[in-house]
Copies of this chain bind each other. A is one copy, B any other.
Amino acid sequence: MSRTIACIGAGVIGGGWAAYFLARGFDVVAWDPAPDAEARLRRTVDAAWPAVTELGLDEGADRSRLRVATSLADACAAAEFVQESAPEDLDLKRRLLAELVEATGDDVVIASSTSGFPMSDMATETRDPSRLVVGHPFNPPYVIPLVEVVGGRATAPDAVASAADFYRAIGKSVIQMDREVPGFVANRLQEALWREALHMVANGEATVEQIDASITEGPGLRWPVHGPCLTFHLAGGEGGMAHMLDHFGPSLRAPWTRLEAPALTDELREAMVLGTSDEAGARSFTDLVAERDRAVIAVRRAVEAARTR
């Protein structure tokens, strides 16, 4: 496993990754061209440290193993893995990834934290795109496990597999995608919700506080437990996903959101029903209900105890 990681870009995401890698016992060399980058990075890591400590530090984990490099070349010199978390600017990412390829050894995988650009769109200015992958985390990377991993058209399959293995080995939950979709999976889902939220505020239909409360007091309590598919499987009662789609399918056509609904074809219905059944596995409807209820109660108590106000 890599022992030195370069964190390129030291904002909220880059700093969060640095904290996570330090907690896993790596040496971290960071680089960011902003004049106040080092101070901000150290504040981010310090703010994260109680959380990563609470989650458990690996052997050798120490904030003193964070070094801020004076140049990109300096940051990459000893790096066995690079996590790029620069601002979300396509031209900047293109130039930066090309520079990172030049500054690293031929066996170093370079993962981009981009929240939306497909690697095929970013890997256009380098002579060797084979080592470039997307490794998209969720804020804050030191407590949210998800990382979405996907390569571009010119990425070597080994590089994708190696990045996914690396993230799994350090405790992340990896979704490895076979194909590029702008925004990947979770961001597309949360972005659809976010766009609708912005529409509602723009139209005076709901306030910011109502929107947030509608999630934290409502469906947000279910989503750490069961994702949207298993959630709706249970909304279908004992008839499960099939009943849910047959019963609520027509309301898909209602003008609820500004997002046009897909046609609920037999194929889509089948894919949803079988997929949900696979996911439920050996858990019966009753098992899933009991699991959800136990977990939502525990989540409510956990959040209540942790809230500042």
Contacts and interface: CB of A to CB of B under 8 A. Distances in A.
A206 interface: yes
Interface string A246-262: 01100110111111111
A294 B225 CA distance: 18
A139 B258 contact: no
A208 interface: yes
A295 B302 contact: yes
A197 B275 CA distance: 12
A192 to B, nearest CB: 4
User: How many identical subunits does the complex contain?
Assistant: 2
Given A146-B214, A272-B201, A224 B258 contact: no
Interface stretch (A48-56, A123-131, A156-164): A48-56
A99 interface: no
Given A175-B213, A187-B256, A299-B299, A275 B208 contact: yes
Given A296-B144, A299-B224, A192 B259 contact: yes
Contacts of A264: 198
A173 B278 contact: no
B193 A190 contact: yes
Interface residues of A, number: 131
Given A196-B189, A228-B212, A255-B182, A218 B146 contact: yes
A53 to B, nearest CB: 10
A51 B142 CA distance: 32
Most B CB within 10 A of own CB, among A263, A265, A294? A294
Interface string A59-75: 00000000000000000
Interface of A: 11-12, 40, 47-48, 50-51, 54-55, 87-88, 115-116, 138-140, 142-146, 148, 173, 175, 177, 179, 181-202, 205-232, 234-238, 247-248, 251-252, 254-265, 267-268, 271-272, 275-276, 278-279, 281-283, 286-303, 305-309
Listed from nearest, the 5 A-B pairs whose CB atoms lie closest are A212-B227, A208-B275, A220-B223, A298-B302, A259-B259
